Amino acid sequence: MSDMPALDLTAPPTEAEKARARTRFDHLCRRGTEFLGTEYAILGGAMSWVSERNLVSAISNAGGFGVIACGAMQPERLAEEIAATRALTDRPFGVNLITMHPQLDELVEVCLKAGVGHIVLAGGIPPGAAIKAAKDGGAKVVAFAPALVLAKRLIKMGVDALVIEGAEAGGHVGPVSLTVLAQEILPHIDQVPVFVAGGLGRGDALVSYLELGASGGQLGTRFAAAAESIAHEKFKKAFVRSNARDAITSVQLDERFPVIPVRGLVNEGSRRFLAHQAEVINRFQSGELTREEAQLDIEHFWAGALRRAVIDGDVENGSVMAGQSVGMVKAVQPVAEIISDLVEQAVVALVRQQRRMDCNG
């Protein structure tokens, strides 16, 4: 048997180990940081009613990349939000536009006139005209790729970077986990930077995706409960007291009446939604409602619910959109502290990885 002492992988890193690991982390993130123009390849996920000037500027000022959620804003309102954000930070930030917005072309033009360097197109395959207009205007275009075939298609359409978002994310989600999407897409895409999203809550998890080939990560849930977030204190407290199993996707009772999958915290509203669906289905089956009327009735249930939760603090009846990483939100922290924690966790993970290699070598 060897007389060498066992290596303690959990011992605090030395300064030399941390310096070496930080260099490695920066190298793994380099493509992402160069694309974004930031210190860290960490994007803030765009969240309606949350990702506005205060949170976006805080993320950018802390070395990440804040993203304004345009949502249903009109062009004039978006122009105001961009200007207000720029008054709070001189660092890069982006704007997330919904591809189904009836004024998408005008919104792209607003971004270009304001000198926004990165436009994120979400909510479906973006129109080729919007991609071309953004790129012709000098902006870089980021799009979401829910599958490898769509990732390749988007690259051919001219997008400059991709986000792959797993079902662990909060809000509107797809059916596939990030761990599977990463294995499906990352080994086959090297033409553009790819950022991972969905369930990210710690820096060590981010490292694992960086080593698979990701260029950075996007987090929403962790930042939604940040000190700088304008979300109601009751909304933030709901995050702090919840765990991963509290964040579930909306349940569909009848395939004849599709329900868009949205991940959020279980509350009285989500329970009433099940009862409401059952009631509407019974009214349809009795002939009281047409199929179209029943579908609209079900869809209308959540109208204005996100604002009620985020702004008004009605976390029992509103839609408390949250990803499964909500269990890692242990307190309301400043954005800079959240990002610092993520980087520290990544560095420690790389130190332990190097120790294992040294031990096995």
Give the least confident one: 10-19, 161-170, 180-189, 234-243.
Answer: 10-19
**Region 25-43 average pLDDT:** 99
Order of strands, sheet of 262-265, starting from the edge strand that comes earlier in the sequence: 171-172, 262-265, 247-249
Query: Which amino acid is residue 316, in one-letter code?
Result: E
pLDDT for residue 202 is more than 70: yes
Query: Which amino acid is residue 196, in one-letter code?
Result: V
DSSP-derived 3-state class of residue 98 = strand
Query: Which amino acid is residue 150, in one-letter code?
Result: L
Domain assignments of the chain as residue spans, ordered by start: 15-231+330-356, 243-321
**Region 214-222 average pLDDT:** 99
* Alpha carbon distances (Å) from 328 to 121, 219, 222, 265, 335: 28, 12, 8, 14, 15
pLDDT interval class at 322 (50, 70, 90)? very high
Residue entry with tokens 């279980």 = 266
pLDDT interval class at 357 (50, 70, 90)? confident
pLDDT for residue 331 is more than 60: yes
pLDDT for residue 14 is more than 60: yes
pLDDT for residue 4 is more than 60: no
Contacts (Cβ under 8 Å, ≥6 apart) of 271: none
What pLDDT, on the 0 to 100 scale, is given for residue 361? 61
pLDDT for residue 276 is more than 50: yes
Query: Which amino acid is residue 158, in one-letter code?
Result: G
**Region 322-331 average pLDDT:** 98
What pLDDT, on the 0 to 100 scale, is given for residue 1? 44
The yes/no answer on whether domain 15-231+330-356 falls in CATH 3.40.50.720 is no
**Rounded to an integer, what distance in angstroms lies between the CA atom of residue 80 and that of residue 107?**
12
Tokens for 217, please give them.
């990560």
> Helices in the chain by DSSP H: which ranges?
15-36, 53-61, 75-86, 104-113, 128-136, 148-157, 178-185, 203-212, 221-224, 233-240, 268-285, 291-300, 305-310, 335-360
